[in-house]
Amino acid sequence: MSAATRITLYCLNAIATILMLCGAVFYVREVLTMTDYVRPADEFEYLQKASEIDEEFSDKFSYELFHGGKIRHIQNTQIGLQKSMAKNSDLDERILLTVDWIKSEQEGSVSSKIENLTFMALEAIGSKWTQELQQSLIVYLESEHVTRIEKLRIFNHVLSDGELAYGIVKNLVPGYLHDQIAQWWSNYKASHVPGINETCLQPFPDSYRLLDLYDDVLVGNNTEKCRKKVPEQIYHYDVYQEHLWWTYGKAAMLFLGALCFALIALFCCRFDSNL
């Protein structure tokens, strides 16, 4: 092998190594340091971040419900993110965490956090309640052979479960909070029913009336009056996904470049040996 060939091979291998290292460093820096959907060490921060995710996906679901979006995919993504961040496949993780926290604060005679924890517990309950309503809507839209009686049973089950969980939290907290959390829970339900304007949810309907409302806004003539108006917008998760795929693409290009230079070096080595 000539000296010129050896120098060429060294240069090609050096470039390939540099590109591979750059790809690895870029991937580690950009992907492994993303904390958008990573559970914070502080439990308060975790609960707040989980609630923010719920709010974003609640709006996204309601928007796509009327614009031909893949609502099942949206819900599965939301649930997947919550499970990943909770590091637990149980959707009751946040509820159990906040309820246990409230109990421990009461036992320790420390009341300064109870009010915040109470609303965090209600947000966790509301999150599961909204997700179950979303699932009920998916059944409503995708299952042609589901009877009206079955739809009523599904909606009634969701509404009853929400009230039962709310009652458990209410019984845990001091009496002076009862009126405040009752108002909060009423407002939350009215503003988080997927696809329906909250002005049409006062007073909050039973399962029969709720199903009638969905009949109106989804397949009936009253599609505008009670339809929730969610403006088209760019959601944080969409930006996150775009950045993630751009990062994957750039890292892949660097690794591909390294592979190309390595193959060129191998070709040069074999070509020189055949001379």
Separation CA 172–CA 154 (nearest Å): 28
Claim to verify: residue 102 and residue 165 sit in the same structural domain: yes
Separation CA 218–CA 28 (nearest Å): 46
Separation CA 228–CA 209 (nearest Å): 17
Residue pLDDT tens, the chain, 275 long: 556 555 665 665 666 676 566 655 555 554 444 456 678 888 888 888 888 888 888 888 888 888 877 888 888 888 888 888 888 777 788 888 888 888 877 765 556 678 888 899 999 999 999 999 999 888 888 777 888 889 899 999 999 999 999 999 999 888 888 999 999 999 999 999 998 998 888 889 999 999 989 888 887 666 678 888 877 765 555 555 555 555 556 656 666 666 665 666 566 665 555 54
Claim to verify: residue 120 and residue 105 sit in the same structural domain: yes
The C-alpha torsion from 125 through 128 and 131 to 135, rounded to 10°, is -120
Claim to verify: residue 3 and residue 137 sit in the same structural domain: no
The residue behind tokens 């988080």 is 192
Claim to verify: residue 18 and residue 46 sit in the same structural domain: no
Smallest Cα–Cα separation from 12: which of 272, 254, 259, 256? 259
Claim to verify: residue 28 and residue 109 sit in the same structural domain: no
Task: Please tell me the pTM assigned to this model.
Answer: 0.73
What's the total number of domains in the chain?
2
Claim to verify: residue 146 and residue 176 sit in the same structural domain: yes
